[in-house]
Amino acid sequence: MRSKSWSASAIRSSRPRNGPPCIARGWPNSENRSPSWPSRSRQGISMQLGIFAKVFVRPTWEETLTAVAATGLRAVHFNMKCVYGDSLPDAIDPAVCYAIRARAEDLNLDLVSISGTFNMAHPDAAYREERLRRFKTLAEACPHLGVRIVSLCTGTRDPHDMWRAHPDNHTPEAWRDMRSTLDAALELAEEHDLTLVIETEVANVIDTPQKARRLLDEVGSARLKIIMDAANLFHAGQLARMHEVIDEAVDLLGPDIVLAHAKDLERDGEAGQSAAGTGLLDYDYYLRALDRAGFDGPLLLHSLTESQVPASVAFLREKLAAM
């Protein structure tokens, strides 16, 4: 397989044999916030712009990948929904995985990550066990796809929508169930040489950067890393402190960020679901914060329609080129 053009520091290739990816970045402590972050030795920003494959709704996965390639983007967050109609299908054919991998290479696309999201804090233990069984199927398929990063959702006590807040998310029981599910997923990650990534999401159990940092420290595994999505950070009343909230998140989580998301928000108190460049997020500040953290991995567009893709791509390319 050809070498990746991204992740000079996001996931280093010089990891120990059969070991977890090595994340090696210098990072200031929480007392050293912007603008006292260390300056970069290189010029400009080298993040690789990409997109969620499921933005492009097509009858076949082949057509989906072709549509992604037509945008000129290279980094792809894949989703088995494009193949089987479900992010976590009951079974995955290895031959299909090899075909997806080969087609992506032919189109000069990098399958940088894949969705493994399910409600890890669901109140029904039987649901969690069933989803873990399906997650195992996905984990076994990832080496065939050539994908090493799998996204997760820390979940909610809401039994119907894993992205909807619930008052019981803050209980010890919710944390316990999420941790138990995550620990089982991490065992599979170790077995299949994967990195699992979570994000701070105002509606989930991990709803603040502080809780994300606590989880990373409790787990203590190099198999668990972070997606940074600034549009998901703002609880009600926090939008007026946008720069401070972004700084706090990146201060706490910067060394562990391996993916970043690009979308926007129209209000605080809930996760943003708008196309990048159409809302209130200060992208100049967000991108500079990521850059100062040493992040140079994939910046993935999502929460937009296919018709919005050209404008959001142009918006982000302009922002990145100006830095």
Q: Tell me, yes or no, whether 9 lies in a domain.
A: no
Q: Is 0.85 surpassed by the pTM of this model?
A: yes
Q: Tell me, yes or no, whether 118 lies in a domain.
A: yes
Q: Per-residue pLDDT tens for 194-247?
A: 999 999 999 999 999 999 999 999 999 999 999 999 999 999 999 999 999 999
pLDDT at site 46: 82
Structure tokens given for 4? 């990746």
**Per-residue pLDDT for the chain (323 aa), expressed as one digit of tens each?**
333 333 334 343 333 323 333 332 322 233 333 322 333 334 456 899 999 999 999 999 999 999 999 999 999 999 999 999 999 999 999 999 999 999 999 999 999 999 999 999 999 999 999 999 999 999 999 999 999 999 999 999 999 999 999 999 999 999 999 999 999 999 999 999 999 999 999 999 999 999 999 999 999 999 999 999 999 999 999 999 999 999 999 999 999 999 999 999 999 999 999 999 999 999 999 999 999 999 999 999 999 999 999 999 999 999 999 98
Alpha carbon distances (Å) from 22 to 74, 133, 224, 267: 23, 28, 11, 36
> How many domains is the chain partitioned into structurally?
1
Q: Tell me, yes or no, whether 19 lies in a domain.
A: no
Three-state SS string over the chain comes to CCCCCCCCCCCECCCCCCCCCECCCCCCCCCCCCCCCCCCCCCCCCCEEEEEHHHCCCCCHHHHHHHHHHCCCCEEEECCHHHHCCCCCCCCCHHHHHHHHHHHHHCCCEEEEEEEEEECCCCCHHHHHHHHHHHHHHHHHHHHHCCCEEEEECCCCCCCCCCCCCHHHHCHHHHHHHHHHHHHHHHHHHHHCCEEEEECCCCCCCCCHHHHHHHHHHHCCCCEEEEECHHHCCCCCCHHHHHHHHHHHHHHHHHHEEEEEECECCCCCCCCCECCCCCCCCHHHHHHHHHHCCCCCEEEECCCCHHHHHHHHHHHHHHHHCC
Q: Tell me, yes or no, whether 7 lies in a domain.
A: no
- Give the span between the Cα atoms of 284 and 322, in whole angstroms: 9
pLDDT at site 44: 53
The enclosing domain of 90 has a CATH number of 3.20.20.150
Q: Tell me, yes or no, whether 15 lies in a domain.
A: no
Q: Tell me, yes or no, whether 5 lies in a domain.
A: no
What range defines the domain where residue 221 resides? 48-321
- Give the span between the Cα atoms of 42 and 34, in whole angstroms: 18
Q: Tell me, yes or no, whether 34 lies in a domain.
A: no
Instruction: Look up tokens 């599979």; give the residue.
Output: 188
Contact 298, 260 (CB under 8 A): yes
